[in-house]
Amino acid sequence: QVRVLESGGGSVQPGGSLRLSCTASGNTDRINLMGWFRQAPGREREAVSGFYTRTNAKYYADSVKDRFTISQGKDETTVYLQMTMLGPEDTAMYYCAAAEPRMAGSWNLPTRYEYWGQGTQVTVSS
């Protein structure tokens, strides 16, 4: 079993920054992809960023490119999401997810991921 736990959300003013953390623990030997998604009220869950743990390949949604940076921690299944130049449009619940190679699909598809965290709220307002 794999458990995913994210943290680091909070409230920030427009233009500010936050750093989210995520760790997958348990039986993580087959995990090869970590992703961040977000969901605002009344909207569908959208992909934010993905990190392939074996190749260090990184991917970003167009809406966050050049503002958000995904990185890997000391453990292979620990990732961070550094968010800068935050705006009200970034307000959402942010979810971290982990995936094994057996699941098909691109990094930005929720169906690619088997294991999800409970989410951490990010609110950007003045």
User: Can you spell out the DSSP letters for 9-23?
Assistant: -EEE-TT--EEEEEE
Rounded Cα distance between 87 and 43, Å, is 17
Rounded Cα distance between 117 and 75, Å, is 17
Q: Among positive and negative, which fits the CA dihedral 22, 78, 86, 40? A: negative
Pairing of strands 120-124, 10-12: parallel
Q: What SS3 class is residue 89?
A: helix
Stretch 65-82: mean pLDDT, rounded?
96
**What are 74-125's pLDDT values in tens digits?**
999 999 999 999 999 999 999 999 999 988 899 999 999 999 999 999 999 9
- For residue 25, what pLDDT band results from cuts at 50, 70 and 90? very high
